[in-house]
Amino acid sequence: MTTEISRTARVDLDRAALTRYVQDFGVYAAVLALLLFNALFTDNFLQVANLRTQLVQVAPVVIVALGMALVIGSEGIDLSVGSVMALAAAVIPLYLGFGMWPAILMALVVGAAAGVVNGTLVAVVGLQPIVATLALLVAGRGIALVVADGQLKQIRNADLLALGSGEFLGLPVVALIAVALAVVVGLTVQYTTYGRQLVAIGGNRPAAHLAGLPVRRVLVVTYLLSGVLAALAGVLATARLTASDPSAIGNLIELSAITAVVVGGTPLTGGRIRVLGTVAGALLMQLLRATLIKHNLPDSTAQMVEAVIILVAVYLARQRRTR
């Protein structure tokens, strides 16, 4: 009788341990497996030029997804990131006459302002995050198009172009910025008061409020950070594109960012933020798409495979809550 119980208990334990293992390291294992597969079976995959392309392409998604991870960790969601990228792209040419840094600064200020609007609507007014950020998703791109007069503008500032296509130690600057930001965001979540408060609020907002945490301030700061990161991604994407194109930039990137965060193991219910997992999630989706394209599978198949991957990832992550 007792052995019976202990045996089933052990099986349960093993299964629980296995599930937890898959949940914690599944996304990294999947990235490694894809890399290995490509190294063996894809021609020219390991060439420096290809790897660089992959890194440059994934960088804006990673940067946006970092902000999204913070917002999702607070049990919210930010649909407006694509429009904020467009706003940043529209603002840059206006201030580029003063030089690169003032232009970037203004773009980031605009992103911060958009984030504060979102954060105020969510934290102070009490709107649901989906609706609050949906409004800015709809209006933001409209404002960007009005600001830019609906036109694509070529960027000729050498400094800004260097930011988009430059290299440092053989790596693209854009990718290095994304890595640096990931480290900063990771450390912020782990080791700062703000990060701990954010996770606590995402886990249980009423409890955090009763414990005396500054719920409103933390939430506003979270949406502000998401706005600033999205604006930065807009700046970098504009620099890489060598043109400010507010009608196309960042279109549907909110979906890619949410996918990266969710595939990376951050639950949509908040209270847990996996920064490294988010980076791996973005890499996984990028590699997956690259693999499918390089093996001549059409875009239609790529999208359907992506859909399945999202569902599987969320399904695996779901079991954590029930245990």
**Among candidates 274, 76, 67, 259, which has minimal Cα distance to 186?**
274
Q: Give the residue, chosen from 77, 81, 163, 287, that forms a contact with other proteins under the rule CB under 8 A.
A: 77
Instruction: Name the 3-class secondary structure at 271.
Output: coil
Interface map 141-160 toward other proteins (x if CB under 8 A): xxxxxx---x----------
Q: How far is the CB of 318 from other proteins (least distance, A)?
A: 6
Q: Minimum Å distance from CB 116 to other proteins?
A: 14
Q: Based on CB atoms, which residue is closest to other proteins, 171 or 302?
A: 302
CA distance 232 to 163: 12
> Residue 113 or residue 135: which is nearer to other proteins going by CB?
135
Does 301 participate in binding other proteins (rule CB under 8 A)? yes
Show the site string, 231-260: x = touches other proteins by CB under 8 A, - = not.
Answer: ---------------------x--x--xx-
Q: What residue type is assigned to position 174 of the chain? A: V
**Burial label, 86 (beta-carbon count in 10 A; 0-12, 13-18, 19+):** buried
Q: For other proteins, give the closer residue by CB, 243 or 268.
A: 268
Q: How far is the CB of 271 from other proteins (least distance, A)?
A: 14
**307: contact with other proteins by CB under 8 A:** yes
The footprint of other proteins on residues 268-287 (CB under 8 A) is: 268-269
> Which residues fall within 8 angstroms of residue 9, CB to CB, at 6 or more apart?
none
CA distance 322 to 303: 30
Q: Count how many residues are written for the chain.
A: 323
Which CB sits closer to other proteins, 140 or 172? 140
The smaller minimum CB distance to other proteins, of residues 128 and 154, is found at 128
* Residue 259: closest CA among 77, 74, 29: 77
Measured from the Cβ of residue 40, the count of other Cβ atoms closer than 10 Å reads 9
Least distance between other proteins and beta carbon 323 (Å): 14
Rounded Cα–Cα distance for residues 78 and 95 (Å) = 27
Q: Are strands 167-168 and 171-172 parallel, antiparallel or unpaired?
A: antiparallel
Q: Minimal distance in Å, beta carbon 86 to other proteins?
A: 10
DSSP state of 104: H
Residue choice 51, 135, 241, 276 for contact with other proteins (CB under 8 A)? 135
Would you put residue 157 in left (φ > 0), alpha (ψ -120 to 50) or beta? beta
H-state helical runs in 148-298:
158-165, 173-191, 193-203, 205-210, 215-241, 253-263, 275-294
For residue 192, the minimal CB distance to other proteins (Å) is 28
Binding map of other proteins across residues 95-134, x = CB under 8 A, - = no contact: --------------------------x---xxxx-xxx-x
Residue with tokens 């629980």: 16
Measured between alpha carbons, how far is 281 from 291 in angstroms, rounded to an integer? 15
Binder among 111, 140, 186, 195 for other proteins (CB under 8 A): 140
Report the nearest approach of other proteins to the CB of residue 176 (Å). 30
Range 30-69, binding other proteins (CB under 8 A) = none
* Interface contacts to other proteins, rule CB under 8 A: 77, 79, 121, 125-128, 130-132, 134-146, 150, 252, 255, 258-259, 262, 268-269, 298-304, 306-308, 310-311, 314-315, 318
